[in-house]
Amino acid sequence: MAIHSLLQCRTWSKSDWLIASIGIVLMCFPFLSLSIRLQTLSPPLILKTEELFAWMEACLVITFIRGGGGCRTIESCSSRAMTRLGSSNFFEHEVPFQGVLSSDPSQNPDFFNWNRIMIRYCDGACFSGHPEAEFKLIWETIMDELLSMGMSHAKHAILTGCSAGGLATLIHCDYFRDHLPNDATVKCVSDGGYILNLPDVLGNPTMGSFFHDVVTLQRVDRSLDQNCVAKMEPSKCLFPQESLKNIRTPVFLVNTAYDYWQIQNGLVPDSPNLDERWAICRLNIQECDAAQMKVLHGFRSSLIDAIGEFHENKEGGMFINSCNSHCQIRESWHSPTSTRIENKTIAESVGDWYFNRKPVKLIDCPYPCNTSC
């Protein structure tokens, strides 16, 4: 059954600088390679529509995709229908626009007066699944709606997202670029979306198996780069180490080398076979012993090696810190307490890169060297 999803759009009014928000109702279908639909029907949710600034006048757009993991089985996808990741019945009525979405110039110096959109996550496959029947894809529907509102006139645009939204950003980066004016400056910022394809501490291909199941169940391969899919097992093309090789649009990576989501779900997933010390360490890096820290430093080294080719990309940028965190562009974007590398916040780094003020290829020293974390 269908679900009504919500786009939340905030814009800067030039008359009295009042921030407005508008909820846009979209039909959101679960894209599984099955003849049934798993999500529940829920009513449209429309937030306040106090004032909406004409997009074609502003021509500045940030589109942010929320994260929320993925689902690999019929059962796990079905269970999401009873949460905010599967039904607007469970959406929060208010979502704070923080960090990269903030309207406060002291918190968001380069982008505070841009049109800012948040896309709610609802399909469990980075908006990349394909249905067995011929339905219009969620992502295409969202883009059609935004373009009809005036985004087709954008002169400056950023596609960004966190976690699964960061992965979705990489998957849809070129599509986003290709549907905006040729003379527009369009770039993509992926936060916490650089997922590594590594065996876990027990030697199991946990993350690789998860991606394989999501791609197979929801036919995600049709959304991936077809040159890559032709060369290797399709789910490998979902991992950024492969997908970045085929993205034409400039990309900026925001990632921590000690990403707690990847540690807890990929490197050291919960398991009855897990050593008791790992069961403690995986949840709190400060409780890890020297041998465990050696493994976590190895995880960092694998990330640095994986992004080596991308590091040579002249149009690309990166902010790879050593914090034990996950999503950062909303939570640690730009404030006195924000994470810094070489005394630069993520916001300053992304701004320098987007506006071509200077190249940005920042890689932090190993944990726990960064006192700003």
- Residue 58's pLDDT is 54
Phi, psi values for residue 280, rounded to 5°: -85, -45
Residue that has been written with the tokens 């099955």 in this structure = 34
Give residue 86's pLDDT: 84
Q: One-letter amino acid identity for 142?
A: I
Q: Is 163 a catalytic residue?
A: yes
Predicted confidence at residue 267, as pLDDT, reads 98
372, part of any domain: no
Domain that holds residue 21: 3-363
On whether residue 318 sits in a domain, the answer given is yes
Query: Pick the catalytic residue: 123, 200, 221, 259?
Result: 259
Q: Residue 209 catalytic?
A: no
Beta sheet of 19-28, edge-to-edge order:
19-28, 3-12, 115-119, 60-65, 156-162, 185-191, 251-256, 317-321, 361-363
Q: For residue 57, count other CB atoms closer than 10 A to its CB.
A: 11
- Residues 22-31 pLDDT 10s: 222 232 323 2
Closest CA to 250 of 183, 316, 307: 316
User: Residue 78 domain-assigned?
Assistant: yes
Catalytic residue among 130, 179, 326, 334: 326
Residue 16 is among the residues annotated as catalytic for this protein: no
Contact 253, 194 (CB under 8 A): yes
The answer to the question of residue 264 being in a domain is yes
- Rounded to an integer, what distance in angstroms lies between the CA atom of residue 219 and that of residue 241? 20
CATH of the domain at 152: 3.40.50
- pTM listed for this prediction: 0.87
Report the largest interatomic distance among the alpha carbons of the chain, rounded to a whole angstrom. 62
Indicate whether 248 belongs to any domain: yes
Nearest in space to 262 (alpha carbons), one of 339, 331, 206, 346:
206
Instruction: Give the three-state DSSP class for 104.
Output: coil
Provide the domain count of the chain: 1
- Indicate whether 373 belongs to any domain: no
Is the residue at 98 inside a domain?
yes
Asked whether residue 369 is assigned to any structural domain, the reply reads no
Q: Which residues of the chain have pLDDT under 50?
A: 1-57
Which tens digits make up the pLDDT trace of 187-197?
A: 999 999 999 99
pLDDT for the residue numbered 264: 98
pLDDT of residue 197: 98
